[in-house]
Structure 1
Amino acid sequence: MGGRLLVRLATIAGAALAVGLSAASPALAATTIPINPGNVPTTAADYEQGCDFGGGPFADKDVWVFVLPGNSGDFVSVTATFSTSGGTVTRTIPTDGGAIVDDKGTSKAWIATAAGWTLTGATAEITGTSPQDQFNLTHTCAAKGNSTSTPTPPASPSPSASVSPDTSGSATPGTTPGAGGGGSGDLPITGAGVAGIVIFGAALVAGGAALLVLRRRRDITPIA
């Protein structure tokens, strides 16, 4: 009898344990919840900014940070959908990058994407439950691209800084440069002055010739 009683007690205990595990399993299973629809669609630049996760700001990347409200569960994964210039792109945290972290008892997830993408939707796998049956995009760290600065035009030189042409060594109008490049104060000799000198010299020569002829005639005249 004692052995049969022990078998019955063990059977009852095993059944109770199985019931307990089956009742607890839904609480341990992951639950899928959506993102707060009021958070999307948005670009990172148009959302509340904060660069406490992911190491940003980056020059060419946006960082997205999600939060699970309340303390009754944790993120297992977050799958976000983005609209890009090349089409729709899906990224899952942490499979495609980023991380799930515990921030003072609150479960958060972050991921970095190319700059300029638009978040259009997201779902999350969580443990436990969420009081609002949804999670939030808490903030972003938008890319800080290299700003294009307008080049400053060079300053125009002031009139006082302008350089006047160097006139040193040039001949003064109306003067004739002398030896060594120096100028003299004498007036230049014109063509009319040269002609007058030539005529005057020719007259002197003619006068001298006439006097010579007269003298020779005088020497050969016989005395009466």
Structure 2
Amino acid sequence: MSNEQQAITENQWHQAKLIWDYHQMHHEPRPVDAAIGLGSHDLGVAAHCAELYRTGLFPAVVFTGGNSPTTAKVFPRGEAVHFREHAIELGVPAEAILLEPTASNTGQNITLSREVLAAAGIRPTTVLLVSKPYMERRSFATARKLWPDVEILCASEPLEFDDYLKSIGDEKLVLDMLVGDLQRIIEYPKLGFAIEQEVPEDVHGAYESLNRDGFTSRLITS
């Protein structure tokens, strides 16, 4: 068994679950002026956007994202393009979807989506960010920094931690991603990329523990 596919221990699961819960904002969905579906490897973002659109929470959604090393093979025409197609397959009318096909990081997802909305004559006061479950808090902190005059809500597929682990099929990779996103929540405010978020002591302890255990492939280095 390769290192990338190793099973995690019970203690590592509990540490990761603490971080998983922290990453989610637990916002109550309600009507907003527009939604932004943040591109990634996870088509569940597009599916959840479609589900929320059908409930009438927003009249328009921007799918944003170009390609990254982890998505180029899966989504050869870009994350946003594939997300748009999937949402249309799930019943979202094409005219309700705006496309931002070039962003390569979360900051660009926000700033370029804002420009796309403005070009369409949409200047929202409330925006719903739809992301992977473990990316809610980081996307919130980024948007609050870059778009401070807009009220930001977050949503993701309502998956339990175990179900997400099964859906990805690689426990180590998921823990690497949880740790990597938490590092960015801690470090990005110092770089001006995001607002600060309080990290509870037990969550920080879980982060340090998983770092020591080698869940480090998604960490940024100075």
Structure number with higher helix proportion: 2
TM-score, length-normalised on structure 2? 0.23
Asked which structure has the greater CA Rg, the reply is 1
